[in-house]
Structure 1
Amino acid sequence: MKIPINLKAGSVDKEEKKDVIIGIDLGTTNSLVAYADGEETFVIRDTSGSNALVPSILHFGKDGVVVGDIAREKLISAPERTIYSVKRLMGKSYQDLSSLKDSVGYNVIDQDAEALVKVEIDGKYYTPIELSAEILKELKSKAEAKLKLEISKAVITVPAYFNDAQRQA
């Protein structure tokens, strides 16, 4: 164990615990998480070390929500409970999504008079923000497991083509 000593002051310095800030690319198809350590950046890979990409797919099962590869496996067997392309829903109204809502297996709705769309699963309604939050939680959890520390700060990418409503979402 190193003990930091300040020779000028003649005292023992308290080690400052630095916050690790992760960077998240929340993609339409896949997402990933990275962090910087000094001058180097590292992409966080899965436990096998082979894959850094996490499919941006959620599956609502009996035991809760799963994200990533396990959710992707449910696209064929349970399409009505498996959500993908969440980023395409961000900041969009039901009218904006006329072509998308017919091409996905899940139920995109315009609940009440609200302007933004929601996804309905088992009578519960989820906004694109709530769905994206589930993906972000998974990426944060992946980073915390790899780094063995709690993450409290992140930078999330936003595509240049997003409008103000999408950026705010």
Structure 2
Amino acid sequence: MLEKAPAFRRVLDTEAETRALAQGLAGAITPTGLSVELHGPLGAGKSSFSRALLQHLGVTGRIKSPTYSLVESYPWTHGTAWHLDLYRIADPGELEWLGLESLADPGAIVLVEWPDQGRGMLPAADLRIDLGYAGEGREARLAALSPRGEAVLKTLRPD
């Protein structure tokens, strides 16, 4: 894991700005997939950001929140996109019955809300996104956790 300060920060004063960030990230994701940890307090916009990202990846139809199902999968142009919400998980061992082996597919997009709840049962993340409150709006901080995550951030904000 790369231990660095966030490489990318953006204030998201409106839902449109959140969607624009998701669109930029979707455009930066290559067909090789990406594993993303989403951190932040309840109501910070993790599910909204995930839904916007999936839509910009080309997922059509209803995108459901995995709050109760824990995991939802969607086909996208280059494979499968997985959206997990682990808020209700008390112990990572509870995830064994979900059959999460498919998350290790290098072409998959994996979005995990509350990833600390599943530590040890999830693939290594490429990107960490921290969403939080900033005044009347929100703030997003993105940090690379792998070379693939670094490539994505470089595409979002070229040096």
TM-score normalized by the length of structure 2: 0.29
Task: Write 1 or 2 for the structure with the bigger share of helix.
Answer: 2
Structure-1-length-normalised TM-score? 0.28
Structure number with larger C-alpha Rg: 1
